[in-house]
Amino acid sequence: MWLLVGLGNPGPGYAANRHNIGFMAVDRIVGRHGFAAWRRVTFNGLASDGVLGPERVIAFKPTTFMNESGSAVGALMRWLKLEPDHVIVIHDDLDLAPGKLRTKRGGGNGGHNGLRSLDADIGPDYRRVRLGIGHPGDKGLVLGHVLSDFTADERAWLEPLLETISEAAALLVSADEHAFANKVAVLTAPPPKPAPPDAVPDSAPPGAGHA
């Protein structure tokens, strides 16, 4: 069994914020893979259970607000009798370019308050799926950036990213989570630019393409 956690803030006022991309990703996985309806549980969150590949998965969205995520995740993890290496956390990342995805196990929290809370409660040895939202360029602008909604332009990369994450989700609970990141990278890669009409193919004979 695995615990799949999306990080975000509860309530409609936060639903479209950049900080809530973890909630968005888990919602998309739950919908695509036919998980049960979200239900409120006693661990300060919403839970949904389903199957990814051969594995049973409990999806979870803490309702404690971002800064207290660890207490909710830790309580549910211990009730399920899981170790941190069977907890996957999907979260926003300021240090990645918008639309980029990286996976890792353990490590620092990078100043992310949700991860800081998790580290304090369950330790750092859980899996992370980092979803880039970009940095506003000034530390003083960070709070406003993460608590603002994605723009219409950002939706152009956000929607394909969420759809691809949900498509590749079964790889998240495989022995090699890097396969998940690789598949997402391939499926979200922009198509190659077409060659200019007057370009000469490499295999063309000498003089080809010239009048």
Whether 210 is catalytic is no
Q: Residue 78 CB: number of other CB atoms within 10 A?
A: 13
CA angle (114 as vertex; 108, 118 as ends), nearest 5: 65
Determine which one of 19, 91, 112, 145 is catalytic: 19
Sign of the four-CA dihedral 81, 8, 53, 168: negative
- The terminus-to-terminus CA distance of the chain in angstroms comes to 67
Tell me which DSSP letter residue 195 carries. P
Going by C-beta distance under 8 Å and a sequence separation of 6 or more, which residues neighbour residue 132?
A: 92, 93, 95, 96, 97, 98, 99, 100, 101, 102
CA–CA distance, 121 with 119 (Å, rounded to integer):
6
The residues annotated as belonging to the active site are 19
